[in-house]
């Protein structure tokens, strides 16, 4: 049987290498995967080794196709060493059943160049004991003459093993998600290439690649190399004020190993009640589930008991993270504690950057008066705190039926843009069918030194070029967005900055006015009377966050 698989593999390689008009310069293309569903659970994926291969990456989903082709996926792993003539990824936790479809794509680095095999699938028909698996023997050199082969399956179905020969070890460590080739800028020519890897990124639960250099296919080379990096070409992007390689993936989190050390909780009250929330690190408000980051607001009384919001006090001094905001909150004659507890996580302590391509795949929360936060915030404030600026990749108010002056402003509307003090650049997109909170979307920002472009699911929302409008007078033409920013993810509720007075939710007037003294109490009374509707979908689910250098 193993000979059959070997023949199939070789035939596939012959066809892909010689018969394809789009093969790379050295004739290599990624061969079909050899896939074994495991007993009692698990999955093993292999490809044969070839000379020059230094990395194999597998990205897979079960019963869900890849929408755009290069998403991280439910399974997303780099394999950095071969075993027994094969590059093998083994997942021993995933549960499969007969009839399941594994959709996947493969990525291989060979001789410093990246190669892909996209839009593949495998149907689960039978299961195998891992210790009995026998992979085909080593492959032969790629032939230079056209083979006598006509077709090849996208996936090689493994044979039923009959003997045990050098079984694969069962204690191999599972590695984190793949370093993907950077996306092509939608509004500019393709970036120059980086022809080979000269340094290996740190392998962590989530990753900051700095400085590193993911491979690209061969194109014309240019000068302007970074000192000490012979094959690295300088980007205008900086990471923590240092140079990086052009086109490099500089940050990646897919939450496959928890929240990860690159994210830190903000813990504080707001001193101006601009959001009716206390931000904390309570595990009921932020956690990972099914390789996704979940941020979920809850009512303060649910944590501390009935009417605690009316009584207090709440002291967060021992873990408070802010010098500007409050760490202790007590009831006063005119105000109460924030009625909602939520989470806000940032990369402020570990990762900040200037210029690049940001991509976040997330499902926005549904629920009355909740607002998702997918932001970039300034690392420093050279123009002063009020003028520091904020980048909003996506915002959609969670009310399903919310109007203001007869215009829909609820979760049928998505907004993106920029905010500097009281000036804004807002881009809008109404959902043709359904709501923006119904499913996952990919939110993207392309940030250069001349323009900021916003996208959702590859649809262009609009641009800001520094003058349409001018957001900060008296400084550089692109200020304040000519400084490093960090990533911030969270959810807040209510407040006075997002929802105008007079807004109607299902025909009912918003229960508080933005600048009235007792706005927190009015919001709390609506919670207690059952007028605020939250559900299991009142949460934000984040699949991945990635940043590439320009």
Query: Can you give the pTM of this predicted structure?
Result: 0.64
Structure tokens at 68: 């755009």
Where do the structural domains in the chain lie, given as residue ranges?
A: 34-129, 233-549
Contact 33, 102 (CB under 8 A): no
pLDDT band at residue 138 under the 50/70/90 scheme: low
Q: 103-116 pLDDT, tens per residue?
A: 999 999 988 788 88
Across the beta sheet with 53-62, what order do the strands follow? 75-79, 53-62, 101-110, 113-123
pLDDT band at residue 224 under the 50/70/90 scheme: low
Beta carbons within 10 angstroms of residue 134's beta carbon? 20
Q: 165-184 pLDDT, tens per residue?
A: 233 333 333 333 433 444 45
Fold observed for domain 233-549: Jelly Rolls (2.60.120)
Query: So what CATH class is 34-129?
Result: mainly beta
- DSSP assignment, residue 451? -
d(CA 549, CA 24): 25
Across the beta sheet with 504-505, what order do the strands follow? 407-408, 402-404, 504-505, 508-509
Structure tokens at 548: 């590439």
- Give the lowest-confidence range in 3-7, 321-325, 394-398, 483-487: 3-7
Q: 1-36 pLDDT, tens per residue?
A: 444 434 434 444 333 333 333 333 467 889 999 999
User: Tokens 């932020």 sit at which residue?
Assistant: 286
User: Tokens 């804004």 sit at which residue?
Assistant: 424
């Amino acid at each position: 049987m193993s000979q059959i698989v070997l023949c199939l593999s070789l035939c596939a390689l012959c066809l892909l290498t010689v018969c394809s008009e789009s093969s790379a310069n050295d004739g290599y293309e990624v061969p079909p995967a050899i896939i074994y569903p495991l007993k009692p659970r698990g999955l093993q994926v292999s490809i044969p080794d070839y000379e020059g291969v230094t990395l194999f990456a597998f990205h897979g989903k079960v019963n869900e196709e890849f929408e755009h082709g290069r998403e991280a996926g439910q399974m997303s792993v780099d394999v950095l060493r071969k075993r027994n003539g094969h590059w093998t990824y083994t997942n021993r936790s995933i549960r499969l059943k007969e009839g399941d479809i594994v959709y996947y794509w493969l990525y291989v680095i060979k001789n410093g160049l990246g190669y892909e095999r996209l839009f593949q699938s495998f149907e689960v028909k039978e299961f195998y004991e891992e210790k009995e698996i026998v992979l085909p023997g080593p492959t032969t050199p790629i032939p230079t003459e056209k083979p006598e082969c006509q077709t090849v399956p996208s996936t090689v179905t493994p044979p039923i093993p009959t003997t045990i020969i050098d079984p694969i070890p069962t204690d191999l460590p599972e590695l984190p998600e793949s370093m993907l080739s950077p996306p092509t800028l939608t509004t500019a020519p393709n970036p120059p290439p980086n022809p080979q890897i000269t340094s290996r990124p740190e392998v962590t639960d989530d990753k900051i690649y700095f400085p590193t250099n993911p491979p690209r296919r061969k194109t014309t080379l240019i000068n302007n190399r970074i000192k000490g990096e012979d094959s690295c070409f300088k980007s205008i992007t900086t990471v923590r004020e240092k140079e990086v390689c052009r086109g490099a993936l500089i940050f990646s989190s897919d939450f496959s190993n928890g929240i990860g050390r690159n994210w830190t909780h903000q813990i504080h009250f707001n001193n101006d009640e601009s959001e009716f929330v206390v931000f904390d690190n309570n595990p009921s408000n932020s956690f990972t589930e099914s390789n996704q980051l979940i941020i979920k607001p809850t009512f303060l009384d649910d944590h501390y008991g009935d009417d605690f919001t009316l009584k207090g006090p709440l002291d967060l001094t021992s873990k408070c993270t802010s010098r500007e905001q409050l760490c202790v909150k007590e009831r006063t004659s005119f105000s109460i504690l924030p009625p909602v507890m939520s989470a806000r996580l940032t990369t402020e302590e570990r990762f900040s950057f200037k210029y690049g391509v940001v991509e976040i795949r997330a499902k926005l929360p549904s629920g009355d008066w909740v607002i998702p936060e997918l932001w970039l915030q300034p690392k420093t404030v050279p123009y002063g705190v009020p003028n520091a600026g904020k980048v909003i990749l996506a915002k959609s108010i969670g009310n399903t039926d919310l109007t203001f002056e007869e215009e829909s402003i609820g979760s049928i509307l998505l907004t993106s843009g920029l905010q500097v003090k009281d000036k804004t650049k807002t881009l809008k997109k109404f959902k043709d069918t359904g709501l923006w909170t119904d499913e996952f979307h990919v939110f993207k920002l392309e940030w250069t030194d001349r323009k900021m472009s916003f996208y959702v699911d590859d649809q262009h929302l609009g641009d800001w070029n520094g003058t349409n409008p001018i957001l900060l007078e008296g400084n550089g033409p692109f200020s304040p967005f000519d400084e490093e920013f960090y990533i911030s993810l969270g959810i807040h509720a209510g407040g006075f900055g997002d929802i105008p007075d007079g807004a109607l939710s299902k025909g009912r007037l918003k229960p508080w006015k933005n600048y009235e003294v007792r706005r927190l109490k009015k919001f709390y009374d609506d919670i207690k009377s059952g007028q605020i509707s939250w559900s299991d979908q009142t949460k934000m689910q984040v699949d991945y966050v990635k940043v590439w250098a320009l």
